[in-house]
Chains A and B, each alone.
Chain A
Amino acid sequence: QKEVEQNSGPLSVPEGAIASLNCTYSDRGSQSFFWYRQYSGKSPELIMFIYSNGDKEDGRFTAQLNKASQYVSLLIRDSQPSDSATYLCAVNRSGGSYIPTFGRGTSLIVHP
């Protein structure tokens, strides 16, 4: 069983700080990596995807991928209370699959 591991948290950061969310995966052949945000009682929404080693920036969000270490992270700059949610890491199965494996998610709390 291929796994995606995330620290369940909660991760608590003050407003305006950088929140760093981490994810490791076991399927070395995985090619596509995603971050989703899920507010309590709601369905997930896509924040970012990344498939090349290095950083990818989109507004206040930066995804970082290191395939050698099987590690993907999400940085949220200038964190806002509205960023408080559970962040799910998803990794597509190897072999060019479009079927994802989700981590359990990290709960982020941004306090004023």
Chain B
Amino acid sequence: GAVVSQHPSWVICKSGTSVKIECRSLDFQATTMFWYRQFPKQSLMLMATSNEGSKATYEQGVEKDKFLINHASLTLSTLTVTSAHPEDSSFYICSANRGLNYEQYFGPGTRLTVT
């Protein structure tokens, strides 16, 4: 299989604090991981492409200083939401690309609520 885990599965934090979300590929190495955000009843929005050992590539309109991405190993990428605000409350999902046909395998998601 191709298993991707995320931690935590849900988090509540206060406005102004930072939250770190981990994404791990459990049974394969992922040179590329992706971070998405999904608001209720909306489609997936790609935030950034995370490449192992290099800087992430952010999509237009996504603040790289607010959403810090680190991909330090072939099995781990982290997303840190800095100075969180209530409007950052969303479902954050990571995925890992397994190559060959470039299909993506998604983590279970992290539901962030900022109060």
Residues of A within 8 A of B (CB): 32, 34, 36, 42-46, 49, 51, 88, 90, 92, 98-105
Contacts and interface: CB of A to CB of B under 8 A. Distances in A.
B108 A105 contact: no
Interface of B: 32, 34, 42-44, 46, 49, 93, 97, 101-109
B105 A104 contact: no
A99 B33 CA distance: 10
Given A32-B102, A88-B43, A98 B97 contact: yes
8 closest Cβ pairs, A-B complex: A98-B102, A104-B43, A43-B106, A43-B109, A102-B44, A43-B93, A49-B103, A44-B106
Contact of A43 (B32, B43, B107): B107
A96 to B, nearest CB: 9
A103 to B, nearest CB: 7
A111 B34 CA distance: 35
A48 to B, nearest CB: 9
A99 B101 contact: no
A105 B43 contact: yes
A49 B44 contact: no
22 contacts: A32-B103, A42-B108, A42-B109, A43-B106, A43-B107, A44-B93, A44-B106, A45-B106, A46-B103, A46-B105, A46-B106, A49-B103, A51-B101, A88-B44, A98-B32, A98-B97, A99-B34, A99-B49, A100-B34, A100-B104, A104-B43, A105-B43
A104 B102 CA distance: 20
B43 A34 contact: no
